[in-house]
Structure formats: C-alpha cells, structure tokens
Structure 1
Amino acid sequence: MVTSQSFNSVTYDIEKTVIDRYQEGAKVQQPSLCCPTEYEGNYLEILPQEIIDKDYGCGDPTRYVAKGETVLDLGSGTGKNCYILAQKVGETGQVIGVDFNDEMLKIARKYQQDIAEKIGASNTKFVKGKIQDLTLDLDLVEGWLKSHPIQSVDDLSKFESECDRFRENSPLIVDDSIDVVISNCVLNLVKPEDKQQLFEELYRVLKRGGRAIISDIVCDEDPTQNILNDPDLWSGCIAGAFREDQFLKMFENAGFYGVEILKREETPWQVIDGVEFRSMTIRAYKGKEGPCLERKQSIIYKGPWKQVQDDDGHTFCRGERMAVCDKTYQILTRAESPYQKDIIGLPPYQEIALEEATEFSCKNKAIRHPKETKGSNYNLTEIKENIDCCTPEECC
C-alpha cells in the first residue's frame, strides 16, 4: 500500500503533512487554507472570533440541514459548522464533530459550555477519529496506549487486536445512526488509497433515507505531476482535489442515489498548471436497497426531458404512467425526495398490504394500464355537477 508521495527525490507522508499544516492553522490564522464562503443567516454572530478565524472551508453545507436532525461533521476543525448546526437542529437534534487534529479539537471543545448556554441546548460533542475509519475512537486508543506502550512486535500485535476490539465493541459512530453527514473542504485531504473506504464509511453511518451534503474542492481535469509532488498543495486542498465528474461517481459507486450538484462555483478558486480548482457542494441519499414488491403503484414523470433514468436503471418516459415497485415509488414520491418535484405519484385505488405484496419485476419502460391501478372490477361512474373545471383566470 502506498502511503506517501515523492517529490524531487524526497519522500513525504501526506497525512503528516496535512496534520502539521492544520495544527499550525489552529495556532495562527492561514487564509490560504480556505476560499471565501457566505454562510446562511446570522448563525455566526454568537461564535467566538477564534473559531471563525481558525476554521477553514470552501462552502456552506449547513444550509441544507433541518431542525431535529442528527448531524455528523467530518473534519469539524474548530467547530464552526457544528456550532452553526447546533442552532439549526435545536434541542431535539444532535451534532457530532469528528476530527484528527488535537489543536483544532481543543479549540472546539473549549467553547461548548458557553455556546450551549447561549442557544439553550447542549447538543454538540466533539470526538477524535479519522474520517475514513469512523469505527475507531482515537480517544479510547490513546487512553489504552498510555498504559500499554508499544515496545515490541508482540506489543504491536496486541495493539492492533485492541483496536479491532474497540471497533467492534465501542465504535466511534455506529451503523445507521446519522440523518445527515456534512463535510466542508476535508475529503480531499484524505490519502488517495483511503478514499474508497471514506465513502463506504459515509454510507455506513447514515440512516436509510439519510443524506450526505459535502462541500469540497474539485478540479476540471487531472492534476499535473508537479501539483501531486508538492506537499503544500496537498495540505492546501489542491493536490487531493477530486476531478468533478469522478466526485459524483464516488457517491454513486458507494451506493448513494439522487446524487446532485447543489452549487458549483463558476469562477475557479485557483488555477495551477492550467488546471482549474473550484468549490462544489454535492447532496446524495442512502436507501435504495431492498426487495421490489408489487403494490400496483405507478408514477408520471412531468418532464421537461423526454425520458430520464434513475440510479437503479429504471427509465421514466415523460407523461407516461410508469409501473414501479413499492420501494421505487417511496423513493420517488416521499416529501423529502430529490425527485418529488418532478414526479406525480399514482397510488392504487385499493391499498395492497406489504405482507400480501408479490415480487415485482423491475423492467425498463414498464407502462401500467389504468385498470391495473384501479382494479379490473372498477366500473364507477361519477359526474360532479356545478363545479367549474377551471379557475376564473384560466381557459378550459
């Protein structure tokens, strides 16, 4: 496994380079670590200036979070996004910040009580961990190491076994426990060989129907070798940037659906060796697994495209009454669905209980006849009198 990059015949460790740069950024403000960002509302007003000055980002994923939700902030830094979220989710919600940087965590934790008193809710906590391994609680690891220092290969083996035990018995973030995962310009700092695991962890911790909202730096083409060989550009959110098309595919490959670009900055933040680097915010949902059951539901895609395809390969034709399974129907029509505004849901005339539903064959472009939805015995005649079909301002 490759854990470092080489440049000018010198080997450097990406992770150490990032940690050192951000440890320094927690002590002295470094404007070059972030790009200008406007945050929604007046949530910054109660935050100490130290948090604002020493927290680095490239977007505002916090604006897409609602009251009462449990939110995980990956790479929470000094806690700026967490304390914004604490005000948004309120006393019925919870915010968890995870970071690997001791100096950043120290600042974030220092203001917990003060901010809790200001907002009237103690709803934030900050934990130490790597965002590509959200099972391992590094505070537990460090506590164990104090009384079990590693001095031999046998000690190392015991340490690795203890880490596995922590992951199994005391995971930092448990499966299916989070409504929203956010991150603000942090995923690009993870080593390339760990990025697939990072997206798998994003998916693991989310509840079914949960979503990831990620702001990060992307590039329009692959970084040059000169960029990759510069440690300052790794810690500066440049060398590790995702190519923008691959960024969306990383979510798709991890199992997410409804992946969409919420915001893409038109003007690049930086241009290096002809490669443009800009901020982009993505939203993606978890929960398209499960059986396909026939409950006689159908949907109509409103348009404007002639036809579209979802992440399961279903093709929906504009204006057609398309047959779908219960799982797909729920994904497309529930109130918080990313598709809901473009879909008309047609439930069956008579409800079919889940326990009575049969297996549905998900085939492309399956048109459902109205009789299927209404039932073959449906023979109602209903004429409503004295009711205008139009409003006074419209033509029939």
Structure 2
Amino acid sequence: MSYLDATQDLYKNAALTPDVGLCCTTTPIWQLPGLSIPKRMQEMNYGCGSTVNPRDLLNNPAILYVGVGGGMELLQFSYFNRQPGGVIGVDVVPEMLQASRDNFQLAEEENDWFKSEFVDLRQGDALNLPLEDETVDVAAQNCLFNIFKTEDLKKALAEMYRVLKPHGRLVLSDPICDGGMPAQLQEDARLRALCLSGSLPLQAYLDAITEVGFGTVEVRARRPYRVLAPGQYDTSELIFIESVEVCAIKDPMPEDGPCIFTGKTAIYYGDQEYFDDHKGHVLLQNQPLAVCDKTAAALASLGKEDLLITNSTFFYDGGGCC
C-alpha cells in the first residue's frame, strides 16, 4: 500500500469514528466572541497547530483550506468571511467531507451567525487543486503537507502558490524534526500518514516553501509535539518532533533571496540618536527592531560593538523590516 493510500484509509476511518488521540494540537483553540465550536468538531481536530490568525483575515478574504478534518478551522475561517462560498474546503476523502457537512449542522445550532453555505466543500487533491489561478487571498493547511514525500510536497506547495493572489498568504502548520528521521521510519506508510515520519528539519521545510517562489516567510510558532522512543518505534535513538506554524507570503522574490523571519531582533545602543546602515534599515537608539535572518546576518557582519543581534525565538508576530 502506498503512503497516499494509507493516508486516505486512516482519515476515512477518522471521519467515520472521531479519533481524539490521532493528533496532538498544542495550540489553544481560538476563543472568539460569539463563536461556539461543537464538541465533535474539537474531537476531530486532526492538526498539530493552528492556521487561523485574525491579522491574516481582514476585509472578508477569500479563503482556501486543504484537508478539512472535522471542519473546525473552516468554521473559524467562516467567522471572518460570512459570505456564501467565502471559504473553500478541499479534501480527497469523501467521508471527511461528509463529516464536515454533518458537523456544520451542529455548528448552525450553536452559532446563530453561521450558515453551512458559507463553506464550499469540494472533493479534490492537494496536488491538483480544483481552483483557478490567483483566486484566493489566504490558503491554509494543517498537518497535511508533512505527509508528502519530497516531489509531492513540491507539487502541493506549487499548487497553493498558483491559486493565491499576489501578496496572498499561505498559512501552514506541520511537524518538524531537526534531529533527522531514520530512513526506515520515513518509509513506514502508516507513520507518515500519522504526520510523524515525514517530518523535515526546519531549514529544509523553509527551503521547500521558498523554492516555489514565496518571497517572505514568517515563522510564527515552534512548539514540542511528539517523541518517538526506542522500544516503541523502530529507532535506536530518541527522536524529538516539534510543530511549527508558518506564514508564507506571495511577495516578489528579492534579488538577494527570500526574507525569512524567525524572531531575530536588532538593537542599537550607541551614543547617537539612531543608526542607519544606508541599506534601508534605521535603528533608533535602544529600540528593538524585528529583522529577517538575511538582514540580521548583514548587520552582524558590520562588527559594530554597539549593535546587538538576538538569536531566533521562532516566534514572529509582524512588524520590523527586511
């Protein structure tokens, strides 16, 4: 059985019978005024983080969510676009689409503002999305792309890039593993379907995103996720897996490469009112400025004793410069 077949079988069963322990989401569920999430939706929250961030969702954006799960994030996205078909949900598993439809009926009972028609559910493949070019403002996936092997991951990312409008946002949450994943686990179809053994090192994950053309990438969160222990899995060493939340923006690619924000900050603490590197970066005295990794490296290379560059926090929430 191929890993894609194993994935469809796993999530068909998870649609028919909610599997609360299937994933371990470490991000708290958004508590928004007037939003009630049915218990069954929460039980079918098969992700490793969250892709819903209010600052991505201004002005009724057209939203695409791939891999619908039990519909929880579709409901959350609908909170920000209450128009018929304002949110599109795509899934390859018919049973999962039906589970979402059923859950939307529960959501209508608990939320007087919500209507199932706000969500356009479509059966489709992440590798060949059933959407026209440049038609959505925000695209998202949660713990789906981690399943794909390298060539399929490239196709899935390229498809998201294709359907996004210029400056549109791709919001992702996936497991990562900087310690490396043993080959025998990578080839285990069930472990890959469980969003475990497909975990890439963070840098390889970011490279895959920028290689399809995203000019700006924000690493918004990085949290512990799972441990694969000897005796429980086919490994001789303890494997630590984290989850990461990333926003990739369809900005033009800068000539000197993508702007990747991992939570680094520059602080000028010299005697002058400000420091100007004459490359577009002005740092006010003792005022932290968020900078992308590329700018952080360029500033550090100046060797200024009154300029501090902090390490990556892997938490970036906007602002700063590139």
Normalising by structure 2, we get a TM-score of 0.73
Is 2:228 aligned against 1:271? Answer: yes
How far residue 99 of structure 1 moved from its aligned partner, in angstroms, is: 0.4
Is 2:92 aligned against 1:66? Answer: no
Is 2:205 aligned against 1:247? Answer: yes
- Tell me the secondary structure at the aligned position of residue 79 of structure 2: helix
**What is the aligned partner in structure 2 of residue 213 from structure 1?**
171
**What is the aligned partner in structure 2 of residue 341 from structure 1?**
319
Is 2:135 aligned against 1:177? Answer: yes
How far residue 285 of structure 1 moved from its aligned partner, in angstroms, is: 0.6
In 2: Cα distance, 1:302 partner to 1:80 partner:
42
In 2: Cα distance, 1:289 partner to 1:279 partner:
26
How far residue 275 of structure 1 moved from its aligned partner, in angstroms, is: 2.2
AA matched with 1:125:
D
**What is the aligned partner in structure 2 of residue 27 from structure 1?**
16
AA matched with 2:174:
D
The answer to whether the 8 A contact 1:71-1:181 is kept is yes
In 2: Cα distance, 1:30 partner to 1:111 partner:
15
How far residue 17 of structure 1 moved from its aligned partner, in angstroms, is: 0.5
Taking structure 1 as reference, are residues 43 and 70 closer, same or farther at Cα in structure 2, changes over 3 Å only? farther
In 2: Cα distance, 1:256 partner to 1:29 partner:
35
In 2: Cα distance, 1:317 partner to 1:230 partner:
43
In 2: Cα distance, 1:126 partner to 1:47 partner:
18
- Among 230, 233, 251, the alignment partner of 1:287 is 251
C-alpha RMSD of the superposition? 3.4
Taking structure 1 as reference, are residues 301 and 175 closer, same or farther at Cα in structure 2, changes over 3 Å only? farther
Is 2:283 aligned against 1:302? Answer: yes
In 2: Cα distance, 1:104 partner to 1:178 partner:
22
Q: Which 5+ residue runs of structure 1 have no aligned equivalent? A: 1-11, 135-171, 292-297, 319-337, 345-396
How far residue 34 of structure 1 moved from its aligned partner, in angstroms, is: 0.8
Taking structure 1 as reference, are residues 269 and 340 closer, same or farther at Cα in structure 2, changes over 3 Å only? closer
Is 2:212 aligned against 1:234? Answer: no
How far residue 72 of structure 1 moved from its aligned partner, in angstroms, is: 0.7
Is 2:129 aligned against 1:129? Answer: no
How far residue 279 of structure 1 moved from its aligned partner, in angstroms, is: 0.9
AA matched with 2:23:
C
In 2: Cα distance, 1:130 partner to 1:289 partner:
27
AA matched with 1:239:
S
The answer to whether the 8 A contact 1:79-1:108 is kept is yes
How far residue 76 of structure 1 moved from its aligned partner, in angstroms, is: 1.2
In 1: Cα distance, 2:217 partner to 2:18 partner:
34
The answer to whether the 8 A contact 2:71-2:104 is kept is no
Q: Answer with 1 or 2: which has the greater Rg.
A: 1
- Tell me the secondary structure at the aligned position of residue 195 of structure 1: helix
* Corresponding residue pairs, total: 270
Taking structure 1 as reference, are residues 244 and 300 closer, same or farther at Cα in structure 2, changes over 3 Å only? closer
Q: Deviations over 1:293-331 (max 9, x none)?
A: xxxxx84343768x96759xx96899xxxxxxxxxxxxx
- Tell me the secondary structure at the aligned position of residue 232 of structure 1: helix
In 1: Cα distance, 2:318 partner to 2:150 partner:
35
Alignment of 1:1-396 (within 5 A): 12-37=1-26, 38-42=28-32, 46-64=36-54, 65-67=56-58, 68-91=60-83, 94-112=86-104, 115=107, 118-120=112-114, 122-134=117-129, 172-265=130-223, 267-272=224-229, 273=235, 274-288=238-252, 299-302=280-283, 341-343=319-321
Q: Higher helix fraction: Structure 1 or Structure 2?
A: 1
AA matched with 1:36:
T
In 1: Cα distance, 2:4 partner to 2:33 partner:
32
Q: Deviations over 1:229-272 (max 9, x none)?
A: 3332112111112221111111111111221210000x342234
Identity value in percent: 24
Q: Deviations over 1:148-188 (max 9, x none)?
A: xxxxxxxxxxxxxxxxxxxxxxxx21111111111111111
In 2: Cα distance, 1:82 partner to 1:339 partner:
22
The answer to whether the 8 A contact 1:43-1:84 is kept is no
The answer to whether the 8 A contact 2:175-2:225 is kept is no
In 1: Cα distance, 2:134 partner to 2:94 partner:
27
In 2: Cα distance, 1:58 partner to 1:308 partner:
25
How far residue 226 of structure 1 moved from its aligned partner, in angstroms, is: 2.9
- Tell me the secondary structure at the aligned position of residue 242 of structure 1: coil
The answer to whether the 8 A contact 1:213-1:282 is kept is yes
Taking structure 1 as reference, are residues 29 and 258 closer, same or farther at Cα in structure 2, changes over 3 Å only? same
- Tell me the secondary structure at the aligned position of residue 56 of structure 1: coil
In 1: Cα distance, 2:317 partner to 2:9 partner:
43
AA matched with 2:47:
G
How far residue 192 of structure 1 moved from its aligned partner, in angstroms, is: 3.3
Higher relative contact order (CA 8 A, sep 6+): 2
AA matched with 1:86:
S
